[in-house]
Structure 1
Amino acid sequence: MTKYLSLFTASVTALLAGCAISPVQEEVTHVSTPIVVSQILCETRDAIRGQMAAYLLLQTKDDVAIAKGNELKDRSIPYSHIDLRPLKKDLKNTIASFAKYAVTYDFTFTGTILNNVNGNLTPTTTFGAGSRIFPFIARVDRQRQNIQSFRETDTFGDLLKNTTADYCPDPHENASRNYVYPITGSIGIAKQLRDFLSLKVFSKLGAKEGPPTFTSNITFTTTLHGNVDPTIVISPVENSTTRSGGYGLTLERSDEHKVIIAFAAVSSAMSEAEVAQFFTPGNEFQTPRGTAEELASQKAVAESIVRFDLGNQRGPVIINQSLLNLF
């Protein structure tokens, strides 16, 4: 009996060894968190370029605008090689206004592992005209969870002009879609940006003061579930014992990848010097940190968290001063 109890215990221990102490998204996606973030930022950069191209291609009576729009549309041409200075002044002013637009990304990666083991072993000792049964039952439930949360804020000008080729390869190719773990591939930034710009231009978003904002909450949840339920039976022989047993292993891994994306539009005009700097090929564009647009995009993220996350929490909610300062 001691021998089989030892085997049972060893099996349970081996199965539980696979339970990660601190589950992180990289264990299942095989893509590091910095790479996930860089892909999303680069997808945003490419989406900005695409919107600029679409705007210029609408100027059907302007040959220069059409030519420059096609250059922007052709992703084989690095952005730093495209000279937009020949455009008409009104077109340049419109495109340059993009430079101070801001975008904030708020990432939350939650990984949860559930390990349940139910085991039983029933030795039956035969003697004389009867038998004795010694049932042994064990149960172990374990759960591990890890939450990573961080925030990134950029301006469109920084993404277009100051992003290095090492960070965003230029010519740029967006990551393909990943239907198992979508956060590691293209997440549809282009559509979010297109909706934001359309609402800003045509409806003004109804903003009474400060730059108008647009927020998207994107959540991807992937759950893997496995179950093992083997049974061990040793047939009786003369003058021996009969033993039976088994164990059930339930393993579940759930990963929730969430990103809140908030765009904020320009609130002040660009100076002629800033416009010239923005359009000079290869020249870095200096954007001061903490602009009204950046603060507006961060505030939009905070409002989204209060509205959709904290608003759905049960029981009391504690809000720290840093969050209140955004209102």
Structure 2
Amino acid sequence: MRTSIVESIRQLGRGRNFDLWPLKRAAARGCRPSSGAGGICAVLAVTALTGCSIHPLVDDVSPIPTEAIVAAARCELRLGLVHQVEVWFADEDPPVTRFDPNTIGDKTGGEDNVKLLHKRFPNTAKQDDWEQYMDIAIAYEWTFDITETNHADASVGFRLPVLNPAGTVDVGAGGNANTTRQAKRTFKNQDTFKGLLTQNWYNFCNDINRSVEYFPNTPTGRPPFEPQPERGLYPITGSIGLARAVTSFLKIAVQEGALDTFTDELTFTTAFDGRVGGAVTLAPVPKEFRLVNASTNFAGSRLDMHKVKISMAFPKARATQKTEKQKVDELLNDVKGGYELNAQWRAAYALCVVDARSREDDFKLLRLDPPEVTCLKSTDTFYPRGNGRTNSLIEGHRFDLLDQRVRSELEKREKKRLEQRGSGT
């Protein structure tokens, strides 16, 4: 490090431009004991990290890559789900045996394991209840917001001899540079309980038959799956408690009249800060123009903010959430007992609402329409509300199902008529 400073000073003395890059290159190469800067190697590591990245990424400092963070979190949630199924099996009278909680969402011999469960254990909970739980949808939203700030400054001092009157003049110069880089990565994904409780997911979480280009989901690298350890320095890369979250949701769900949605919002912040500086003082030579001192300082900081929002929703909403006194009798009758809705729509809708509320809290600003209203249209853009079998696909109303089928049949006939006209038949 010191060598780079002196070299830059010598270049300036030879009439060349003062170059700060040798200092950064020295930081990137690392310290050697002979450089005399061994005591600041740890700080230099952070400074080099914040100073060299043009596009700041999570993977620059994270002990595991982004895709591994997501995979580990989903497998952690799956672990809590499997544990809860084990509890349900043990609570039955008689206890359920010969069924693996890890693969209850799979099929055996072409038939769903849930149906086989009720054939062999008819006294278990209602088959409809099990199917409702298997259809629970999970929506995730991930945000990685990274801000890097870098500061560099340098100063030089010269001593200029003056002949008349005899003496010297001290001249100084300096400069600084400040840069800020920011990157924000946001993405969403979804699961269902039934999809997670399969052999494929068991193999994935336990690193069975995985590609050679994968980061192990479990610290041991072999079955059984274990969550990543809790990491205080970079919490998002360790266990974030999704196993406990799904357990809490299911324990609330079994309470009478509590079948609804569940949302969790987790925020983790990690800050790095580093600085390094150096100064050189040279003895002046009488009656000659010489550089006598120089100094440089580098400072870098990085703020990583990670947010994970998860939403879990049953496909059946409580009627009290959908009815109003002003609704017509037909609609009131339609929602008795609750809507049968697309669970993915419900999970995405709940996630949109909690995200909108979070934005209102961040900006201290309320929207004209509440999130419960604005999120209806945005969620409809990506998912249908109903299933198209027991209710209308778009709106989710049972009384609209017949009209939907009639419209669909008319559209098919019209399309067929136009095709026949186009072919001249």
TM bucket normalised to smaller: 0.7 to 0.9
The residue identity in structure 2 corresponding to 1:41 is R
Deviations 1:239-260 (A, max 9, x none): 4435212122111111111110
Secondary structure of the corresponding residue to residue 125 of structure 2: helix
TM-score (norm 1): 0.76
1:182 corresponds in structure 2 to 235
In the alignment, which residue of structure 2 is the partner of 1:198? 251
Structure 2: tracts of 5 or more residues without a match: 1-11, 28-47, 207-222, 318-340, 381-425
Number of matched pairs: 293
Give the match's secondary structure for 1:298: helix
Query: TM-score scaled to structure 2, two decimals?
Result: 0.60
Q: 2:283 aligns with which of 229, 235, 254?
A: 235
Which one of the candidate residues 253, 257, 260 is aligned to 2:306?
257
8 Å contact kept, 1:221–1:254: yes
2:167 to 130, 150, 169: 130
Question: Bigger shift: 34-43 or 105-114?
Answer: 34-43
Deviations 1:270-313 (A, max 9, x none): xxxxxxxxxxxxxxxxxxxxx62111110111111110124422
Pick 1 or 2: higher relative contact order, CA cutoff 8 A, min separation 6. Answer: 1
Residue in 2 that maps onto 1:91: 125
- Whether 1:160 and 2:209 are equivalent positions in the alignment is no
Q: 1:164, CA displacement in angstroms?
A: 4.2
Q: Name 2:95's counterpart in structure 1.
A: 64
Contact 1:79/1:171 (8 A) holds in 2: no
Does the aligned pair in 2 maintain the 1:53–1:68 contact within 8 Å? no
d(CA) in 2 for partners of 1:243, 1:323: 70
Counterpart AA for 2:301 = E
Q: Is the 8 A contact 2:153 2:176 kept in 1?
A: yes
Distance 1:245 1:148, change over 3 A: same
Counterpart of 1:115, as a letter, is N
**Which of 21, 34, 52 is residue 19 of structure 1 equivalent to?**
52
Q: Which amino acid aligns with 2:242?
A: I
Structure 1 unmatched ranges of 5 or more: 206-210, 269-290
Q: What secondary structure does 1:230 align onto?
A: strand
CA contact (8 A) 1:5 1:121 kept: no
Q: Deviations over 1:8-48 (max 9, x none)?
A: 54446647893311111111114222222111111121111
Question: Is 1:29 matched with 2:62?
Answer: yes
In the aligned structure 1, how far is the partner of 2:284 from the partner of 2:365?
58
Classify the secondary structure of the residue corresponding to 1:18.
Answer: helix
Aligned counterpart, 2:297: 248
Q: Structure 1 vs Structure 2: percent identity of aligned residues?
A: 22
**Residues 133-187 of structure 1: CA deviation (Å, up to 9, x unaligned):** 2221111110111111111111100111264455322643322222222222221
In 2 relative to 1, CA 99–79 (structure 1 residues): closer, same or farther, beyond 3 Å? Answer: closer
Question: In the alignment, which residue of structure 2 is the partner of 1:308?
Answer: 358
Equivalent in the alignment of 1:112: 147
**Where in structure 1 do 4 or more consecutive aligned residues deviate above 6 Å?**
77-84, 314-319
- The structure-2 alpha-carbon separation of the partners of 1:316 and 1:124, relative to structure 1 and needing over 3 Å to count, comes to farther
1:172 match? 225
Relative to 1, partners in 2 of residues 1:101 and 1:10: Cα closer, same or farther, differing over 3 Å?
closer
Q: Which has the higher strand share?
A: 1
CA offset at residue 235 of structure 1?
2.2
Larger Rg: 2
1:41 aligned residue? 74
